[in-house]
Structure 1
Amino acid sequence: VQLLKNIWEANNNMDKRHLQQQKNDDREEQAPHQHLEDNKQERLNQEHANEEEDTHKEEWKKNKYKYIPTQNTGIPDEPAITPSSYALCKLDKEEYVELWYFTNNGLDEASIKKTINDDAMVLSTLVDGSTVWISSASVGSARCHNPITN
């Protein structure tokens, strides 16, 4: 029985060595193929990443404002400072407007004074369609007085 056991163990060990040798040979054979496969897969992954990056860049070019970060500021609660309506009308007509209307003094005066003369009369249309002369002080628009031109 001991002899059979020794023979079986010897054959089994030889089979194990042959199997291990076969596995090593297979690995050596497959190594170049596996290396080529790995390179091919890596190249495909890189191409896919480049394609996604190009798509993202193209999307960013088309929609720049979509990707601009927003500031963490609240809604403005201060009223907008606007120049006099006279200066705005001149700008709308694309005419020359003196720079004074856009300085701090000009903007302050535009918010305080609405007309050159409060006694001036302006032509206005009422709700019923009739046209009447109204005091410019009650209308509250027109042009600012520019102290530089006085």
Structure 2
Amino acid sequence: MTDPSFLVCPDFMTKWYRVSCTSMVNANVTEAQAAETLRNIWIMTNEDLCLQWHQQVIEDKHLNAERRCLAKEEAEWQKAVLELEEATMRADERKKNCFKHLPIPVQPHPLVNDEEALVSKFALRKLDKGHYVELYYWTNHSLDDVMINHCTRDNDSMV
């Protein structure tokens, strides 16, 4: 439907409206008076239609604003639900893997030795294999021996 305020009042004296005018003509009413009466009726009807149109436009604006407000509230609600679900999932993950999420304490580090200890390759191979390594290989005497004697062999080697 179009806005009735843009409509133009027709000329009721033309031949298209002659039937309407002649039905109103009698001894007391002339054809010009009948056309004027039809024009007044058209104007009153058009003003009523314009008023209804403007009320409908205002109502539509209010409905659209309400829909936008409801859509915004729905989006905020869905966002809150999603955040709650994510927080619940994070809390469950923390419960499952509580050691994974423990804070690492900040402690002062001991001073690092300037000299690196050179361990024999034999002891390192035994450690790699998962075998028992005697404490001798970690003593000062053994570490000094490695500095002098680099060539050591495993008992299982075929040399």
Q: TM-score band, normalised by the shorter chain?
A: 0.3 to 0.5
Higher relative CO (Cα under 8 Å, sequence separation at least 6) belongs to 1
TM-score normalised according to structure 1 size: 0.36
TM-score normalised according to structure 2 size: 0.35
Q: Is the strand fraction higher in 1 or 2?
A: 1
